[in-house]
Amino acid sequence: MIQMHVIVLDLDGVVVKSNFIKYHAMLSLFDSVPEHGETISAFILSNGGVPRKEKITAILEKILDIQATPGVVSEYLTRYDANLEDLLYSAPLVEGVAEFVARSDYTFYISSSAPEDEVESQLARTGLLSCFSGIFGRDTAKATALSEVKRRHKNLIPVFFGDSIGDLRAAQEARVAFVAVVCERDNFADYEVVKIKDFTSMELVQQCINDVVNG
């Protein structure tokens, strides 16, 4: 097989079913203000792919009218990480993704808004870490990561699989083909994008890649 593409995957909701685990972990930080629960819930769900620090800061300042000083945000982040520690360990993989990554001839990268050490830990737990040529975590904006992948592989066409509007916008900014993964939640009801639920059918995955590259 002649490799024509390099594949970049988001982590949460694309490789690992962890979106709702992280959603509940963040929402629980604000149990003391139940009157704002619905608003906070909607905000978290509509801002998938946004780094946790930015989400917490926005919730504090825009919804709760609390000054998000570095100390306050750090306290929330520490509590959030503690909530996640055990839950992430048992998060299942998106169906078919292990086979897709391990058995395909493509070059694979990860681009995630989660901290890089957390991403590496998740991939190591699943046995997939060695399948990726590189990992871009929280400290590298996704559009920047995609542009870097393009720079490294000038002879290949990059395709980004993501599950949030932020992922789509990063792909558009970097001028990279995009496939929307709707395994845990369909965030693309108002967008004309190629969608896939999981990776169980290699024929369908390949068709999606062909569609976004040639469309």
pTM: 0.88
Tokens representing 28 are: 């629980």
Question: What's the confidence (pLDDT) of residue 57?
Answer: 97
The number of domains in the chain is 2
- Which CATH number is 171's domain given? 3.40.50.1000
Range of the domain at 69: 19-89
* 138 and 40 fall within a common domain: no
* 71 and 144 fall within a common domain: no
Question: What's the confidence (pLDDT) of residue 12?
Answer: 95
Question: What's the confidence (pLDDT) of residue 1?
Answer: 43
- Report the alpha-carbon angle 31-34-40, nearest 5: 80
Tens-digit pLDDT profile for residues 100-140:
999 999 999 999 999 999 999 999 999 999 999 999 999 99
Structural domain ending residue among the three candidates 32, 54, 89: 89
Residue 179, CA distances (Å) to 29, 192, 208 in order: 32, 11, 7
* 75 and 126 fall within a common domain: no
